[in-house]
Chain A
């Protein structure tokens, strides 16, 4: 089966156009739920329960956002989430950079077995540790406080340590050796050489920790009882009960909760993609 060059060129063009159309249709399928979220958030209470539904609102009800914000303690939940996520990100950075440096650059007979133990913990389902951790924190009388949510972040997360360690091992040993000869201690090497040369990995871990903790639902659900302590995801669950069938308000609240994530993602998506290609898994 042979074609003249012109024919082959035409077939290629048709195939490319077909692929392009297919790509647009498929991508639209991914985008559509998010667009639906936006249009629903601008409808009035009557038209969200219209059958058959229509995609665009008849008129734009921007006041839904104002009403959703006011009819709940959204600002309170937002402040709580900002505080918690901020602490968790700081804790993760400190407690993952140090062990990652140890696993990458400091020799010890314990290093191999400990690294294997760390990887092993990554394979055990989270459900296994759920019960013992809850028992421990309730015996410590920490239920309904932020301690059970914040404390673990300050004691290393296997995935982040693994990711940082992979990056640290790529930094030339000569740089470390020559700093040692100049009399630099480990902390100085870490601060002056490893961290500046690993900015992409640090950024990746920061983003993963931010996104993961911002949308965490289970830990706050298990540990928090007092409404004043609720985070944004718990707040949304609370609104779902209050706003029965008022989808325009639920979508408005959800969109407000997603704004920080969208902004961070669009500003730094290359770091997310780097994180995935480095570890094969996303941080969730």
Chain B
């Protein structure tokens, strides 16, 4: 199909209208992505000139114990946050979907923390998780449980961070709620006629029908939580020791504490690789449990 003058004029207009994004792509997204690959092959402290060192940074990465610790923590935090958020938000969406009175108020309250999430609420959670003066150990104490040393104890730093992150994932609840409204009522009625109780209705109707939505929230949640580090930087900065050091934070540390731009870029690409691998893995596993109505 030969492009006529009209089509060419429209194509020029397309470029003109897309121009802000094109410039942004060159300088702030696509360009830096390509530059980052090149930087990862150099040694560069930002003051001198970059020195080409080939694969040395990648070699260093494989032998870097702290990197492997950070990878461990990233997967622990990422999986913990994604899975717990799916469970909590699905439960809340199921309760909300019963069309009880005041549904809108409950939805607002559950979703609000996601909007507020930031440094202010991170500071709040530092206080809420405080082992001695905090709300959570106070509540645990009132039912006779000695609360752990959230954020301070080696074993309780990541669980504390997971708890806070789940508090701010109300968007998953909104998506579940929209999905639940698409499950045909007739299926529940048929199950009820067969004498199915609420658990088997949940197990054999809700879960299969909702499995694409559960899968979506799991994948999006995991991608997000694998990259999360801003609030972790503020709350623990990786402490105690490196118990809450995640890969995103490790990138930040090398770039802005040690000014090793090459190695920081290498860690960033390792993080990308981890995200891709675990997303692909979830798509592979999805064949076993995700049920699509129309193929």
Known A-B contacts A127-B248, A258-B116, A265-B112; A236 and B29 likewise in contact (beta carbons under 8 Å)? no
Q: Which of B55-63, B117-125, B287-295 contacts A (4 or more CB under 8 A)?
A: B117-125
Q: Is the interface of A mostly helix, strand, loop or mixed?
A: helix
Q: Which residues of A contact B175 (CB under 8 A)?
A: 276-277, 280
Q: Which residues of A contact B198 (CB under 8 A)?
A: 15
CB < 8 Å: which of A36, A156, A211, A262 contacts B20? A156
Is residue B10 contacting chain A, with contact meaning CB distance below 8 A? Answer: yes
Shortest Cβ distance from B135 into A: residue: A36
B15 to chain A, nearest CB (A): 7
A130 to chain B, nearest CB (A): 7
A53 to chain B, nearest CB (A): 5
- A110 near B21 with CB under 8 A, answer no
CB < 8 Å: which of B39, B134, B167 contacts A30? B167
Is residue A184 contacting chain B, with contact meaning CB distance below 8 A? Answer: no
Is residue A67 contacting chain B, with contact meaning CB distance below 8 A? Answer: no
- A23 near B95 with CB under 8 A, answer yes
Is residue B252 contacting chain A, with contact meaning CB distance below 8 A? Answer: yes
Is residue B180 contacting chain A, with contact meaning CB distance below 8 A? Answer: no
Q: Which residues of B contact A156 (CB under 8 A)?
A: 20-21, 23-25
Is residue A79 contacting chain B, with contact meaning CB distance below 8 A? Answer: no
Q: Which residues of B contact A109 (CB under 8 A)?
A: 3, 11
CB neighbors of B among A215-272 (8 A): 215-218, 222, 233, 236-237, 240, 247, 250-251, 253-255, 257-258, 261-262, 265-266, 269, 272
CB < 8 Å: which of B14, B21, B138, B256 contacts A107? B14
Q: Which residues of A contact B141 (CB under 8 A)?
A: 52
Is residue A181 contacting chain B, with contact meaning CB distance below 8 A? Answer: no
CB < 8 Å: which of B92, B119, B171 contacts A26? B92
CB neighbors of B among A192-208 (8 A): none
Is residue B91 contacting chain A, with contact meaning CB distance below 8 A? Answer: yes
Is residue A49 contacting chain B, with contact meaning CB distance below 8 A? Answer: yes
- A155 near B20 with CB under 8 A, answer yes
- B39 near A131 with CB under 8 A, answer yes
A135 to B231, CA, bound (A): 23
- B11 near A30 with CB under 8 A, answer no
A36 to B21, CA, bound (A): 43
Q: Which of B76-84, B102-110, B203-211 contacts A (4 or more CB under 8 A)?
A: B102-110
Q: Which residues of A contact B18 (CB under 8 A)?
A: 98-99, 102-103, 114
- B17 near A26 with CB under 8 A, answer no
Q: What 0/1 readout, one digit per residue, does chain A (145-166) give for beta carbons within 8 Å of chain B?
A: 0000000101111100100000
A131 to B255, CA, bound (A): 7
Q: Which residues of A contact B95 (CB under 8 A)?
A: 19, 22-23, 26
Known A-B contacts A98-B17, A98-B20, A262-B116; A16 and B98 likewise in contact (beta carbons under 8 Å)? yes
Shortest Cβ distance from A35 into B: residue: B135
A276 to chain B, nearest CB (A): 5
Known A-B contacts A131-B39, A254-B120, A257-B120; A247 and B269 likewise in contact (beta carbons under 8 Å)? no
A262 to B96, CA, bound (A): 22
- B116 near A118 with CB under 8 A, answer no
Interface centre among A95, A107, A129 (most CB of B within 10 A): A129
- A30 near B113 with CB under 8 A, answer yes
CB < 8 Å: which of B10, B20, B224 contacts A154? B20
Is residue B191 contacting chain A, with contact meaning CB distance below 8 A? Answer: no
A27 to B7, CA, bound (A): 56
CB < 8 Å: which of B17, B20, B91, B271 contacts A125? B271
Shortest Cβ distance from A94 into B: residue: B20
Q: Which residues of A contact B247 (CB under 8 A)?
A: 127
Q: Which residues of B contact A33 (CB under 8 A)?
A: 113, 121, 124-125, 128, 135, 167
Is residue A40 contacting chain B, with contact meaning CB distance below 8 A? Answer: yes
20 contacts between A and B (CB under 8 A): A23-B106, A27-B110, A51-B133, A96-B20, A102-B14, A102-B16, A103-B18, A108-B15, A127-B229, A128-B36, A131-B251, A131-B265, A132-B33, A133-B32, A135-B35, A156-B23, A158-B21, A217-B119, A237-B234, A269-B108
Question: Known pairs A22-B95, A52-B138, A131-B255. 7 more at Cβ < 8 A?
Answer: A16-B100, A26-B92, A127-B267, A131-B264, A222-B256, A254-B121, A254-B124
Q: What are the nearest 5 A-B pairs in CB distance?
A: A155-B24, A215-B118, A156-B21, A102-B17, A132-B32
